[in-house]
Amino acid sequence: MKTDIRTRNNVRVLGRTEGPVLLFAHGFGCDQGMWQHVLPHFTDDYKVVVFDHVGAGGSDLDAYEPEKYSTLDGYVSDVLELCEDLDLEDVTFIGHSVSAMMAVAAAARKPDRLGRIILVAPSASYMDYPEDGYTGGFSRADLDDLLVSLDTNYLVWAATMAPVIMGNPDTPALGTRLEDSFCRVNPTIARQFARVAFLSDVRHLLKDVSLPTLIMQASADLLAPDHVGVYLQERIPGSTLVRMEATGHLPHVSAPKETAGIISQYLQQST
């Protein structure tokens, strides 16, 4: 029996029932809980929707279909279905990391229900494409090694990579939190989602994004270096790039107040 999307994706609706809609989407190895310190900044004035991608957090693991979720499109379809099912209008889609790629893909389809997108620590592609001059930060060999390491022993990979991805070595508890999050994901699902996250390429969609777009570029982000934010800003028409003081790939976890402040200011300016 197919579960409804609210159960399937562990959807929660917070804040003002009739307020402007903010939809928060998490990245690889995470769940909606990663937004927990950002959400209170918005629940007084906005209708806040959070969810878990299928395979993550409190989602329905029985709903995980390997074929559907082998590409970005499977996840994008879930997001658009969620908006439809909850009858959400003029949605601000706030996506972190691979969910920022989903936001780009959703916006490029020009769905009626989205009003703007906010990309937190985004990349158009993590892989380098030297044949057309694009530097994502990782060669194909780098990514193959990363995925082999993940396949060989996921828990060791999580322990090794979490603090590197989080950054903020002066606050090791943040890296531990990300490691714990990684370790809560079913390793089989994590392996497949990692391939979606690290091998997807949305560069060809950037020119088709016509919605107002905010790009939030953290400092010293191993996965999304500074030039990647510039690349996105130059290719998404009318987009805004904000460089953050926050460091690492999860600024909403390491610097929730700054993250919320930048989002809030952008919303006030773009509405």
Taking the C-alpha atoms of residue 75 and residue 68, their distance in angstroms, rounded to an integer, is: 8
Catalytic residue among 26, 53, 96, 249: 249
- B/e letters for 154-176, b = 16+ CB within 10 Å, e = fewer, are beebbeebbbebbbbeeeeebbe
The region that residue 238 occupies, defined by phi over 0 for left and psi between -120 and 50 for alpha, beta otherwise, is: left
Is residue 97 flagged as an active site residue? yes
Is residue 221 flagged as an active site residue? yes
Catalytic residue among 31, 221, 239, 254: 221
Catalytic residue among 31, 59, 78, 97: 97
Residue 130, burial from CB neighbour count under 10 angstroms (0-12, 13-18, 19+): exposed
Residues that are catalytic: 97, 221, 249
